[in-house]
Structure 1
Amino acid sequence: MRERWSVGVVCALLAALVTGCSSANGSDAGEGRLGGKAPASSTSSATTQPSGYGTVFLGVDECSSFGTTSFTEVPCTSERAAARVIARYDGDVSDGPACPAITDFVLHISAQGSSGGVGDGVIPKGYACMRNLEPPHPGDPGGGGGPRTIVGDCVYGSGSGQVRETACDGSGQRKPQYKVVKAVLRRASCPASTALYVQLGGEQPVGCARPV
């Protein structure tokens, strides 16, 4: 039984791929504050049922397809396969582990009970960290998106002391103003040229950014 999601979910996913936002904490604002708070994640929500391709819906190494009217789990060998799950966690993204740094977008999955049919089961609330099978990869350093801010990413001031991520090569809608050049444990360890501190999370939570 293949799973299909609504057009609204597709639009949200495609918007995430085009705009690209970053975060260390999985919030949904798509922005951060100068001097600290990281930009927010690209996410989507869906009510789901098992597809029959694995014991876990959209488990690690399973693939998804983007369509004009639906978003579907498909075999990775399918010509329709467009993105692969590189990590899968239960619960809320704000409470769970961070997605890998190379994640292109995060898919939120709503809890779904068993319908009693063949191949059906129970899906807990969770999230899948997705990586496009082909470029572009907004989660790569300087790519202008993804759910995390990492070394090599660029940001611009969006007003009211906030920043958003954008492509370092200038191909985004906004030109880059700062680039994260180093990750450290404390601000005092940043280079003297640092003009902006960005929250990255992890073992080295402070991103040192300089003007570009």
Structure 2
Amino acid sequence: MRDACGVRVVGALLMLVVALTGCQQVSGAENGRLDENGRATSTPTRTSGHGATFLGIDECSSFGRESFTEVPCTSERAAARVVARHDGKVNEGPSCPATTDFVLHISAQKPSADEDGDGAVPQGYACMRNLEAPHPGDPGGGGGPRTIVGDCVYSTGAGEVRETSCDGKGKKAPEFKVSSAVDERTDCPSSTALYVQLGGPKRVGCARPL
């Protein structure tokens, strides 16, 4: 199971915290230096002129071990595109599209001086899709901020599951695959062996054993 999580932008320089996979009982690769919570951190910069909104819809970012930077999508440095952008907190706003690869969490920033004309950056989040494979948010990809139909999971005990790649190339072998999404558990087929909480409009995933 997973919930929207990913990258947090904080402070005067918009510090970003990155998680390329979901944060609700889901494991996966991370990018960047680790903070005290084991999450990767990165300090981005913004080049003036790429849009009125920092990382608005259809804008692109570069990313690496040290920084995320807003860049033109035609740049050779462009690595991911914004597929959805919302103000506010992730757990209070709309869900990212199902095949989002990772999420950038953006903290509010109010500069003391507006030298470049950008103005204040409100709190919000950007749903990102890598420009090239791999796409952990795809069904069976082993990551992304949401668990969707086609994803595989393994049990960690205590009633929890984590997502892993369906192709068996992840750190853990897949044990169950989400075959359908329904409104209530009673709507799942009789072959269902596990119920998985999903993040979309149909919040119950019916998983079968592999």
> TM-score normalised by the shorter chain: which range applies?
0.7 to 0.9
Alignment of 1:156-171 (within 5 A): 156-171=154-169
| Counterpart in the other structure of 2:196 | 198
Residues 98-150 of structure 1 show CA distances to partners (whole Å, capped at 9, x for unaligned) of 00001000110111113320233111000000000000000000000000010
Please tell me the residue identity of whatever aligns with 1:152: G
For the residue of structure 1 that corresponds to 2:156, the secondary structure is strand
Worse-matched range after superposition: 112-121 or 156-165: 112-121
Please tell me the residue identity of whatever aligns with 1:97: P
Say whether residues 1:146 and 2:179 are aligned partners.
no
| Counterpart in the other structure of 1:87 | 84
Is the Cα contact below 8 Å between 2:60 and 2:82 reproduced in 1? Answer: yes
Say whether residues 1:104 and 2:101 are aligned partners.
yes
| Counterpart in the other structure of 2:126 | 128
Could you list the runs of 4 or more consecutive aligned residues of structure 1 that deviate by over 3 angstroms after TM superposition?
A: 3-6, 39-51
| Counterpart in the other structure of 1:34 | none
* Alpha-carbon offset, residue 208 of structure 1: 0.2
* Alpha-carbon offset, residue 47 of structure 1: 7.7
Alpha-carbon distance change, 72 to 132 in structure 1, aligned in 2, over 3 angstroms? same
CA distance in 1 between partners of 2:13 and 2:60 (Å): 13
* Alpha-carbon offset, residue 69 of structure 1: 3.0
CA distance in 2 between partners of 1:156 and 1:191 (Å): 20
| Counterpart in the other structure of 2:171 | 173
- With structure 2 as the length reference, what TM-score do the two structures score? 0.81
Residues 80-113 of structure 1 show CA distances to partners (whole Å, capped at 9, x for unaligned) of 0000000000010000000000100011011111
CA distance in 2 between partners of 1:132 and 1:62 (Å): 12
* Alpha-carbon offset, residue 40 of structure 1: 8.5
Is the Cα contact below 8 Å between 1:50 and 1:56 reproduced in 2? Answer: no
Is the Cα contact below 8 Å between 2:192 and 2:206 reproduced in 1? Answer: yes
Q: Which runs of 5+ in 2 are unaligned?
A: 1-11, 31-38
CA distance in 1 between partners of 2:142 and 2:173 (Å): 10
Alpha-carbon distance change, 46 to 56 in structure 1, aligned in 2, over 3 angstroms? farther
Is the Cα contact below 8 Å between 1:156 and 1:166 reproduced in 2? Answer: yes
CA distance in 2 between partners of 1:186 and 1:178 (Å): 19
Alignment of 1:66-77 (within 5 A): 66-77=63-74
* Alpha-carbon offset, residue 67 of structure 1: 3.1
| Counterpart in the other structure of 2:57 | 60
| Counterpart in the other structure of 2:34 | none
Alpha-carbon distance change, 89 to 45 in structure 1, aligned in 2, over 3 angstroms? farther
Alpha-carbon distance change, 62 to 4 in structure 1, aligned in 2, over 3 angstroms? farther
For the residue of structure 2 that corresponds to 1:94, the secondary structure is helix
For the residue of structure 1 that corresponds to 2:92, the secondary structure is coil
| Counterpart in the other structure of 1:36 | none
**Where is the strand percentage greater, Structure 1 or Structure 2?**
2
CA distance in 1 between partners of 2:45 and 2:71 (Å): 13
Please tell me the residue identity of whatever aligns with 1:117: E
